[in-house]
Structure 1
């Protein structure tokens, strides 16, 4: 059991390093935009909420294929891995078309969310640039998911870490201008993301062609015509998983759209809290990826007992990591908020929000691991039902009512704190029910 814990921890640590590098892209943009102008930071809060909702939802659909490839790997059916990956490109193409359509025409969504008119031009320009950064991002996710399923995430991590320095330099240069380039403001961050994403995809394609590790999987064979039976299997696994991620992410990111009407200070403070929460989320996410890869590997190898043990070891690590991050957010809240803004009002509100995000993160860690492991057992519909009911109903709906109308004896808070409190409550309920569902599934299987 201790060796299984080491395997999961080592795999998760490698994934985490790469995920944190990617998250550092967002942190970089937040700090750069905040230093450029408070209005740019507020517009970034809204723009990133829309992009993250689209990107992570589509990413979740592709990430859900990890158990399929991990099982084939565990069963030593190497040739079928390459064929399955090529079929997944059809799913990725559909995801790219859908995502770009939303990002290129975001005006209806911004009007529905009542985003202030003064923000809309910057937000739309930012999203239209990111629309062309989406295709390489999703194709790179296929490469990343393949490597994670095979237990070899190192190359992905090195690419992500290497890309951080160019992203930092380009974001600063494009935003503030210099060397003959005019200051582009917020949209400069988008152009930096576009350039780095395409460069990472080019490197991933070169590695797939040149590294001997991939030869046994025959990735580069001629792509077959769509195999509808396999695509339907992908859809049964990926679509509910993607929709579940959509509900989870939108319950989180739509807060930014609803909070925008409270003014730039509230949006800026919320951006601080959401950015730090997203960074902390990388720890349970990495552990969930590593744990689900091991669970599926053992299921493919025909050993259900070792699969259950892998989940137990991953769960222990996820809870321990969540406790550490929650404590750090609560104890260092003033210092963390001050990194993002020099405005005392924004810092004070941001520090208050970080107290609520500590509870949010603890519940988020538990439910994330449960959802990923449930996918290994092909349980995807019930998590989607729970997410819709709790995260949208209790979390997003309840927080909107508490913020703007009041609930029972509690008057309208008119503060982003209402959104974080109700969302934390919804996640606690979701974590408890998903843990019970997973326990029942393991007993049956």
Structure 2
């Protein structure tokens, strides 16, 4: 990364950073996409089981691994300030934190899967598939979390194409093992939807190994000497990582878990409703990859500029990110509305599932604008290391506004399961508005501090 002086140069740098992140996020998403898609081709029960399992897995993984996202602004600011040794030390301590988190999550999953699934009104076969899927996925936790740290390090240096390359390798590997293990091809056991969980765990080990080799031997990563010597555990650095990362992780958990809670509440409806809801949510997650990628790019760029004390440039990158995401949201919403029948048809041939999915996809289209604002705004705030207030706002938006409103509409009006989607849209909108105001406050504070520092220097 480098300093830019014109708006055109900033757009160019942002797109160079964001495009590889987008490809990376889509590749990661495609692993979940093909888990659901290929399981749906096996049976409706496997579709429902994997849907429930992934709805539990996603918030647990994204929320706790979100703690590791603090590595990105920490390293980006150190690199911007030309403090390489401190960046290396932060990444190494991040490895330790990642392994501890993975062990904790593994223990929680082992202890909590059965009570959680027993609390749902699931068909026995759907419950079995969800249980075994989660067990299989959990054996990939350690490599997945270690890779998350490495990816944050790689991205913080602006080398997002490397992350893209690694993750693109993961998609065909995951599809290949899905094919072998879901359908029992070439002598492999026929595991149905559970096979997709085994395939994902195998894939996580492979991409982690590839990332280690690249950061060990490739430029500019080997200059940081991540593996030359291992420092002792430094709890003060753990505290810094967690002080920034925990609010980030909790914010992500607040957002992703509400979708999972809705999916669990959908278990009170028929298997067809569960499947149709998951189809719409799965495709909406794909369109979300663009604003999410822009948000991750905003964290890198804003963090780099803040580290270099160029607060005006940081503010400009924030605005560019939001504008780009909003433009994309109108395009994706149009696609969802006009091609919803074709989209649903990719996932299932069940007439009842298709009919419901086309209706859910209409609501998914309205997600787009709120997501296009709140995601890049959150990314920019992380670049400033402003995370605690962001977490509180997210909790209020999703859990105080979104979920209760959705529950009331779903259970006390004729809209039924569609009411939950109205609640989700309301929560996302509230989040977009409040986070935007927070970003303006943080930017004004940074500008004021910069002016005071300049006056003292003079």
Category of TM-score, reference length = shorter chain: over 0.9
- Kindly report which structure 2 residues correspond to 1:26-425, keeping only aligned pairs within 5 A, or say none: 26-105=32-111, 106-404=113-411, 406=412, 411=413, 413-415=415-417, 417-425=418-426
Q: Which runs of 5+ in 2 are unaligned?
A: 1-6, 447-458
Which residue does the alignment assign to 1:444?
A: 445
The Cα offsets for residues 395-417 of structure 1, whole Å up to 9 and x where unpaired, read as 2222123223x1xxxx25332x1
Give the counterpart of 1:15 among 14, 21, 36. 21
- Check the 8 A contact 1:401/1:412 in 2, yes or no: no
- Check the 8 A contact 1:78/1:216 in 2, yes or no: no
- Check the 8 A contact 2:402/2:423 in 1, yes or no: yes
Q: Which runs of 5+ in 1 are unaligned?
A: none
SS at match of 1:302: coil
Please, what is the CA RMSD of the aligned residues? Answer: 1.4
CA shift, 1:62, in A, is 0.8
Distance 1:109 1:383 in 2: 29
The Cα offsets for residues 278-326 of structure 1, whole Å up to 9 and x where unpaired, read as 1111101111111111111111112111111111211211111122111
- With normalisation by structure 1, the TM-score equals 0.96
- Check the 8 A contact 2:27/2:171 in 1, yes or no: yes
CA shift, 1:163, in A, is 2.0
Distance 1:113 1:76 in 2: 52
Distance 1:440 1:144 in 2: 30
The Cα offsets for residues 52-99 of structure 1, whole Å up to 9 and x where unpaired, read as 111111221111321110001111111211111011122212210222
Distance 1:212 1:177 in 2: 41
Distance 2:202 2:96 in 1: 24
Distance 1:70 1:378 in 2: 11
Which residue does the alignment assign to 1:427?
A: 428
Distance 2:118 2:367 in 1: 29
CA shift, 1:257, in A, is 0.8
Q: Name the stretch that deviates more: 383-392 or 137-146.
A: 383-392
The Cα offsets for residues 365-393 of structure 1, whole Å up to 9 and x where unpaired, read as 21111112112222212222122222012
CA shift, 1:116, in A, is 4.1
Which residue does the alignment assign to 2:454?
A: none
- Check the 8 A contact 1:115/1:257 in 2, yes or no: no
Distance 2:193 2:323 in 1: 41
- With normalisation by structure 2, the TM-score equals 0.93
Distance 2:66 2:252 in 1: 6
Which residue does the alignment assign to 2:4?
A: none
Distance 2:157 2:119 in 1: 43
Call closer, same or farther: CA 1:247–1:114 in 2, change over 3 Å.
farther
- Check the 8 A contact 2:302/2:384 in 1, yes or no: no
CA shift, 1:117, in A, is 3.9
Distance 1:185 1:380 in 2: 41
Distance 1:444 1:115 in 2: 51
SS at match of 1:258: helix
- Check the 8 A contact 2:273/2:353 in 1, yes or no: yes
Distance 1:141 1:47 in 2: 21
Distance 1:102 1:325 in 2: 37
SS at match of 1:65: helix
SS at match of 2:220: helix
Distance 2:90 2:74 in 1: 9
CA shift, 1:230, in A, is 1.9
The Cα offsets for residues 323-369 of structure 1, whole Å up to 9 and x where unpaired, read as 21111111111110111010111111111111111111221221111
CA shift, 1:113, in A, is 4.1
Distance 1:254 1:89 in 2: 30
Task: State how many pairs are aligned.
Answer: 439
- Check the 8 A contact 2:71/2:90 in 1, yes or no: no
- Check the 8 A contact 1:80/1:217 in 2, yes or no: no
Distance 2:400 2:394 in 1: 9
Distance 2:422 2:310 in 1: 42
